Amino acid sequence: MRIEAPALEIEAVSHAFGRRVALDDVSLTVPAGCFTALLGPNGAGKTTLFSIATRLYNNRSGAVRIYGHDIRRTPSRALAELGAVFQSRTLDGDLSVRENLAYHAALHGLSGRAVRARIEALLERVGLGERIGDKVRTLSGGQARRIEIARALVHRPRLLLLDEPTVGLDLASRTALIAFVRELVRSEGVAVLWASHIFDEVEPEDAVTVLHQGRVVASGTAALIGAGDASLQAAFRRLTAAPAKEEA
């Protein structure tokens, strides 16, 4: 029996900006087909970790593997499996929705009728099929977020990294977005790493890694991490109140 490699393995990764240490010996695993939450307060290192996993920054220590492909040794195979949505908006407001997605597809070497059909299907899936010809700057924040997720899925990645995707969205848009992402995990087996500091986005059975001051201070299911405290939120408050120590 062939055992599938985890969707994402981060192994002993450290990163510093000058003398400021942003990640200190971080390891975490996102199993294939699973939703994993990465919780951390502001400045914990979540975006830095995503930047390393997407190869925006090079990891000088440790290793990052996506479905077994090392991002330094076989970057194109690793990145082909990866879709990412960053906190800051990266759509071109002066291009149409279709053009934004087609441009992303072209960067992955994809064009033609099949890709056009894929783009239309994804936009239907995120409930924005009728906005395909509209300029991105005419969309609301929540709609633009859904377009960014659709764009991240164009090349059929099996791992999706989402960096605080619900920031700035109202409650209804937030709920709809997380439901959509969980449905992707359930129906298509996409693995998700969801960075956030919003606790009601996390279910008790979700795998959770808590990052604080560049270190992993807890990992396990949300229920397990919250078990000794009144809730996951209480455990998070305790874990991130003190200076970060090695994971217990």
Phi and psi of 32, rounded to 5°?
-55, 140
Residue 19 near ligand ATP by CB under 6 A: no
Q: Which is nearer to ligand ATP, 2 or 17 (CB)?
A: 17
For ligand ATP, the binding residue among 26, 44, 97, 218 (CB under 6 A) is 44
C-alpha pair distances (Å), 146 with each of 80, 97, 171: 21, 11, 15
32 with 6: CB under 8 angstroms?
yes
When asked if residue 230 is in the footprint of ligand ATP (CB under 6 A), the reply is no
131 lies in the binding site for ligand ATP (CB under 6 A) = no
Q: With CB under 6 A, what is the number of residues at the site for ligand ATP? A: 11
Q: Indicate the residue among 33 and 41 with the shorter CB distance to ligand ATP.
A: 41
- Comparing CB distances to ligand ATP, the nearer of 69 and 212 is 212
Query: Cβ of residue 34: shortest distance to ligand ATP, in angstroms?
Result: 21
Phi and psi at 11, nearest 5°, equal: -125, 110
Stretch near ligand ATP under the rule CB under 6 A, chosen from 42-50, 60-68, 106-114, 199-207: 42-50
Residue 168 binds to ligand ATP (criterion: CB under 6 A): no
Q: Is residue 119 within 8 Å of residue 98, measured between CB atoms?
A: yes
Q: Does the footprint of ligand ATP cover residue 45 (CB under 6 A)?
A: yes
Strand partners, 37: 194, 208
215 binds ligand ATP (CB under 6 A): no
Gap between the Cα atoms of 8 and 22, Å rounded: 20
88 counts as binding ligand ATP under rule CB under 6 A: no
Under the binding rule (CB under 6 A), the answer on residue 42 touching ligand ATP is yes
Binding site for ligand ATP (CB under 6 A): 17, 20, 22, 40, 42-48
